[in-house]
Structure 1
Amino acid sequence: MLTVYIDMDDVLCDYSSKIKEHKQKNPDNPFPQSVPGFFRSLEPIDGALAAVEKLRKKTNVEVYILTAPSTKNPLSYTEKRLWVEDKFGYEMTHNLIICSHKGLLKGDILIDDHASGRGQEFFEGKLVHFGNEEYPNWEALLMSLPI
């Protein structure tokens, strides 16, 4: 059984566009992610929801969503949990892990848009750097996964 962890922000949902949008509307707020409702309102990345469902259907893969909390918004814990339920259903909330140090978890694959900063560099399995040249989108990533 392969354990696959998938980051949320800028992997499953479009965090960066929402930050940019909020900064344009309210340049005086240096932390748009601190606004209540920010995380729950994030739009899915193209292909992300279908890709997760495809991985979940595989009998040899256990999928977890692994996301770091926003220290600027204590509501991020609740909103990220609600986002997962909104997009994948209640059952997937059992596979949601909110952790500030991703290198503490054991598993085979970590799909993340950053190679470091939240412990990704200490993850002992394979780090798949989403959004780079090799894995620019979910279609390319799924074709290259050893699953």
Structure 2
Amino acid sequence: MVDFAHRIEGLDQVVADKYRGRMDEAPGIFALMKSMPGAIAAFTELSELFDTYLLSTAPWRNPSGWQHKLEWVHEHLGVEEDSPAYKRLILTHHKDLNRGDFLVDDRPNNGAERFEGEWIHFGSPEFPDWDAVLIYLRNKA
């Protein structure tokens, strides 16, 4: 849901050089990321059609990343009980241990490729953007 590449482009060069190849370990990297086009609207719509959760991996060597991912959810999806993401954030390094029918994820790591339901490979030719994901999942609701 976040535009990680956009945030990396805006990093100070000293930080970019220090964390090259492991940008997710840069302190504060997750705090101010933009959402991907259509991501918030898609999650909101899907939360009306399905029992949705945000399943994300936070870097092991970047403790602030765990906090900042929650803060990002608060900022972009709200903190109130009527938010579609209220208490629905799961941070894990083992996505395959979670149960569900669908997992929308851009990387085949941290268990996404072994998820028991259907892995929707975001960014793939079949699911290049959130519009494609919505079209597919609307038919599954």
User: Structure 2-normalised TM-score?
Assistant: 0.85
1:104 maps to 2:97: yes
Please name the residue that 1:140 is paired with.
Answer: 132
Please name the residue that 2:122 is paired with.
Answer: 130
SS in 2 for 1:124: coil
User: Structure 1-normalised TM-score?
Assistant: 0.82
Q: Superposition RMSD on alpha carbons, in Å?
A: 1.6
Q: Could you tell me which amino acid in structure 2 is paired with residue 62 of structure 1?
A: D
Q: 1:87 aligns with which of 71, 76, 82?
A: 76
Please name the residue that 2:43 is paired with.
Answer: 52
- Alpha-carbon distance in structure 2 between the residues aligned to 1:106 and 1:84: 21
Tell me how far 1:17 sits from its aligned partner.
2.7
1:25 maps to 2:18: no
SS in 1 for 2:47: helix
SS in 2 for 1:107: coil
| CA deviation string 1:93-121 (max 9, x = no partner) | 4000000010001110000001x220112
- Alpha-carbon distance in structure 1 between the residues aligned to 2:9 and 2:93: 23
When you count strand as a share of all residues, which structure comes out higher?
Answer: 1
SS in 2 for 1:62: coil
Query: Structure 1: any 5+ residue segments left out of the alignment?
Result: 1-11
Please name the residue that 2:3 is paired with.
Answer: 14
| CA deviation string 1:43-93 (max 9, x = no partner) | 0000000011111223xx111000011123111111000100111112424
- Alpha-carbon distance in structure 1 between the residues aligned to 2:86 and 2:70: 7
Tell me how far 1:144 sits from its aligned partner.
1.1
Tell me how far 1:20 sits from its aligned partner.
4.2
Count of aligned pairs: 132
Identity %: 33
